[in-house]
């Protein structure tokens, strides 16, 4: 059965008429699921009993429940551990910024990219997140912000566990659904998707011109360092990633975010900053310097050279920001909460 969340309004109208249900019912369904956050057909009071029975035969709802919820008292970051229908766990995080609330969604269960510094990569990819599961993460966060903060969820980043461009089709359909729906209605310009640098997909994404922003996890100014910390660099080397980025900028005219985690004695020297500045000189991009969140399973540590690194970039005319830390008291680093849960379950079985 198809998830009701996997259709755009136009697609659902078509699907309904094919099954002898009037197209306007799609609008009613959308109002219930996206504005009123209802998750069963039985609750849709203005739809006839006969149609409700038909709809139940045709479409399913995502069965996703909140297993654990953590709130960081200092900055209001909210982290959900969500249990999926098949028993898998994912993480979804709400963050408050001066421009509003933003949600960070998960794109895969586990990740195959195996970046050495990242907790998510410790557990291999099991499967992709479906369109319905993407949407449901968004709805859970949206409902939480509206109920608990009396505010709107306006921004989204696809920076949770997984490599979004390794789940390309579902990701793109997710954007299509989310940008059109009355109740959801989030502007593509307020969405950012982050990739470790899958070159063909960056180009394909550019060609879509869907106005969604692109962030690239660079984390190194040269192949030597990048090879050490990001195995994917052996497939798509730095020069190819930069070439794909140039293509994206040329086609979309949108500014790219370069993510750069500062890891002690790995990529944080002044020379590294100068080299990075040379690499990015004159390009429509800015560097987001990210404080490293310690992962207990590896030997990397947070750099204390953030301000110096930032200053060298500035001196070399590269725009940069230092990312504010979020949720440090609630296992904020990618995948940490999920790994805890998996270990908890494993230990419980022993």
Contact residues toward ligand SAH (CB under 6 A) are 113, 115, 117-118, 159, 163, 194-196, 217, 259, 261, 290, 292-293, 295, 333-334
Report angle CA 265, 333, 175 to the nearest 5 degrees: 120
**Closest separation in Å from C-beta 302 to ligand SAH:** 8
Nearer CB in complex with ligand SAH: 4/158: 158
| Catalytic residue (choose from 62, 91, 133, 176) | 91
> Is 243 in the active site?
no
Q: What does the DSSP 8-state code read for residue 222? A: S
**Closest separation in Å from C-beta 160 to ligand SAH:** 6
**Closest separation in Å from C-beta 194 to ligand SAH:** 4
Nearer CB in complex with ligand SAH: 58/114: 114
Beta strand ranges found along the chain (DSSP E): 2-3, 59-60, 65-71, 78-83, 89-97, 100-104, 108-109, 127-128, 153-158, 191-195, 213-217, 256-262, 285-291, 320-322
**Closest separation in Å from C-beta 104 to ligand SAH:** 8
Residues 307, 291: contact at Cβ < 8 Å? no
Nearer CB in complex with ligand SAH: 16/172: 172
Alpha-carbon gap, residue 141 to 94, rounded angstroms: 7
* CB under 8 A, 24+ apart: contacts of 31-36: 31/182, 31/183, 33/4, 33/5, 33/139, 33/183, 34/139, 34/181, 34/182, 34/183, 34/184, 35/182, 35/183, 36/183
Nearer CB in complex with ligand SAH: 171/184: 171
**Closest separation in Å from C-beta 129 to ligand SAH:** 12
Nearer CB in complex with ligand SAH: 95/334: 334
> Is 91 in the active site?
yes
- Residues labelled as active-site residues: 91, 334
């Amino acid at each position: 059965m198809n998830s009701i969340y996997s259709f755009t309004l136009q697609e659902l109208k078509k699907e309904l008429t094919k099954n002898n249900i009037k197209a306007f019912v799609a609008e009613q369904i959308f109002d219930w699921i996206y504005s009123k956050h209802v998750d069963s057909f039985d609750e849709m009071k203005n739809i006839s009993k006969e149609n409700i029975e038909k709809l139940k035969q045709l479409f399913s709802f995502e069965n996703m429940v909140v297993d654990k919820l953590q709130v960081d008292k200092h900055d209001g970051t909210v982290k959900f551990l969500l249990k999926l229908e098949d028993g898998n766990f994912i993480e979804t995080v709400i963050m408050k910024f001066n421009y509003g609330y933003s949600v960070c969604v998960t794109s895969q269960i586990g990740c195959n990219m195996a970046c050495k510094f990242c907790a998510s990569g410790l557990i291999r990819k099991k499967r992709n997140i479906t369109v319905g599961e993407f949407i449901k993460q968004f709805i859970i966060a949206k409902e939480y912000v509206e109920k608990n903060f009396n505010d709107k969820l306006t921004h989204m980043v696809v920076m949770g566990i997984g490599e979004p461009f390794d789940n390309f089709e579902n990701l793109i359909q997710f954007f299509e659904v989310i940008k059109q729906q009355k109740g959801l209605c989030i502007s593509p310009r307020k969405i950012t998707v982050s990739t470790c640098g899958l070159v063909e997909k960056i180009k394909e994404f550019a060609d879509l011109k869907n106005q969604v922003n692109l962030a690239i996890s660079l984390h190194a100014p040269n192949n030597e360092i990048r090879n050490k910390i990001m195995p994917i660099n052996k497939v798509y080397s730095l020069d190819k990633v930069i070439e794909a980025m140039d293509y994206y900028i040329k086609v979309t005219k949108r500014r790219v975010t370069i993510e750069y985690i500062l890891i002690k004695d790995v990529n944080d020297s002044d020379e590294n900053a100068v080299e990075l500045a040379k690499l990015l000189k004159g390009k429509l991009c800015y560097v987001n310097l990210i404080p490293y969140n310690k992962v207990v399973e590896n030997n990397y540590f947070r750099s204390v050279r953030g301000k110096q690194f930032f200053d060298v970039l500035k001196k070399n005319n590269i725009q940069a920001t230092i990312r504010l830390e979020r949720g440090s008291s609630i296992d904020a680093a990618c995948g940490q909460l999920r790994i805890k849960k998996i270990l908890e379950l494993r230990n419980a079985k022993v």
